[in-house]
Amino acid sequence: MPEVHGLTAELCFGFGLLSITLLFLLAWQGVPGIERVLTSPARRVLTNSVFPIGAQILNRAVDLVFAAFALRLLGVTGNGQYAIATVTWLYLKTISDLGLSVLVTREIAKDRAVAPQLLGQSTLLRWLALLALAPVIVLLSLAGPRWLHLAPASVHAILLLYLSIIPSSFSEAINSVFNGYEQMHLPAILTVFTNLGRAGFGLAALFSGYGVTGLAGVACGVTALSALAFRVALRHLQVRPQWHLPLDRARLLLQTTWPLLLNGLLITVFFRIDTYVVQGFQGDHALGIYDAAYKLPNLLPIIPAYFVMAIFPTLTRHAQGGKLRESFLLAAKFLWLLAWPIVMGTLALAPFMIRILGGRAFLPEAATALRILIWFAPLHFVNGVAQYAMIAVDQQRTIAYAYLLATGFNMAANLVLVPHFGYVAAAVTTVLTELVLFFPLARSLNRHLGSIPWFSIVIRTVPAIASLGLAALFAAHLAVPLALLVLCCGGLLYLGLLVVCGALGSVEYHIVRDLIGRRAWQSVRG
């Protein structure tokens, strides 16, 4: 076995080295022939949509494959030790970003002449914010082992990941410049090869026995290489950063970006505060179980995010034309109906999913947590489109208030329930928090869009959802091939009952006909 692990580590290291080599080649060369594609506004918009979305999907796929190996190599406790470090990194990165990514992109899109100045200033301001967070890291390193029962490996990983934010801040600033220049294709591709390099070197470290600390060290090193590659790529824009940050300019940037920081921080706290509560009261092992279960639901927000991104221009136009309510209803209903097959399929196949992802060491506890967590999906999908409907009518403050309420509930419920019921309480709280978030958003929708017939939408889908639930209940007791067959049959019945009950009607009929084309539709019908 040591020989096999050694050979595998060498192969993974070679894969990582190849990925980093390609990263620098692409950074230097760029994307051949891309200039011919970006000849019109329409093509530019399409390219700037396809590349980031494709890169994000590829990165999620790489992360999932990496997790399948890492969970087995780290084990339950090791996964918990690394999970607390990565969530800490997420908070530190969100705070140190200060909302500057959006601001820099917006300002450079208005005037490209400010790019060198904003690139240097935003990077320096991020580094100052990171420096201001240093006492928090020191306190966490000293008091974390007592307050949160942090293992030494977790403390070392937190310190290394904290250092990794220094080069990643520069990469983020450069990425914002590319976005402002409407050339999002190259940074998107660079992130894919960075992620591939991190996965390759990370697996090499794990197979070599370096564990949690080695994984964090790899992340730090690859992030530094990625920042260097982004700096090389910056030559395509002929932009050189100006490293000068006057005090009055720093003050102005902070005054402009704090609402963006607040929203980003609320979203981060909303989703992952339970990590600290589970770690503090239940320890590494419980967090390892909970984090393994969380990895699969964590992939789902990509669905409403990209769907809403695609329809947001339409929502904005309809807000001006008075048709926003109808567009929102159609989008919300589509996402609501899409979520339920995902929920029921997960309920039926949760043990199989966890066994594939992490192995038997995480069963049955992680499967139980997954079966609870997955219930967040329907309301999360609806809340996603509701937020952008509020932005379309210039009601951004509603989103902040809603997230503030939901975050407060999430923190209170976790602190009260997790000490007694562990990660199961954290999973239930995640689902209930979506419900708490829904109510203020629904109230605002009724006020600004008109009355939304929520009861009518839900009640018409109940028979179809119930049929899908019965299929999932039956499939849960079968072997995986038979379970998949039963779920497919349940899915067909689900669609049929949606039509019979009136949840799908003439509007959806015309949309499907337009999507596949009239001739294709006629051939499908007969």
| pLDDT for the residue 373 | 96
Give me the pLDDT at residue 312, please: 56
- Distance from C-alpha of 377 to C-alpha of 404, rounded to nearest angstrom: 20
**Bond prior to 145 in cis (omega within 30° of 0):** no
Helix axes 2-29, 185-207, angle to 10 degrees: 160
User: In the structure encoding, which two tokens stand for residue 36, read together?
Assistant: 């011919």
The reported pLDDT for the residue numbered 424 is 96
Residue whose entry in the numeric block shows the structure tokens 């580094």: 127
Q: How far apart are CA 88 and CA 239, in angstroms?
A: 33
**Res 523: pLDDT:** 45
Give Rg (Cα) of the chain. Answer: 24
Per-residue pLDDT, 517: 47
3-state secondary structure of 364: coil
Exposed, middle or buried: residue 44 (CB in 10 Å: 0-12, 13-18, 19+)?
A: middle
Q: How far apart are CA 208 and CA 323, in angstroms?
A: 59
Q: What letter does residue 301 receive in the DSSP assignment?
A: T
For residue 128, what pLDDT is reported? 95
Dihedral sign of CA atoms 376, 379, 383, 384 in order: positive
Nearest Cα residue to 291 out of 217, 370, 200: 370
Helix axis angle, 115-132 relative to 247-282, nearest 10°? 40
Q: Is 477 helix (H, G, I), strand (E, B) or coil?
A: coil
pLDDT per position in the chain (526 positions), as tens? Answer: 566 677 899 999 999 999 999 999 999 988 766 655 555 565 665 566 677 778 888 999 999 999 999 999 999 999 999 999 999 999 999 999 988 887 888 888 888 899 999 999 999 999 999 999 999 999 999 999 999 999 999 999 999 999 999 999 999 999 999 988 878 888 999 999 999 999 999 999 999 999 999 999 999 999 999 999 999 999 999 999 999 999 999 998 888 888 778 777 777 777 788 999 999 999 999 999 999 999 999 888 888 777 766 665 555 565 555 567 777 888 888 889 999 999 999 999 999 999 999 999 999 999 999 999 999 999 999 998 888 788 777 776 777 788 889 999 999 999 999 999 999 999 999 999 999 999 999 998 888 888 888 888 889 899 999 999 999 999 999 999 999 999 999 999 999 999 888 877 665 555 555 544 444 444 444 4
Q: How many CB atoms lie within 10 A of CB 509?
A: 12
Report pLDDT for 311: 60
Residues, the chain: 526
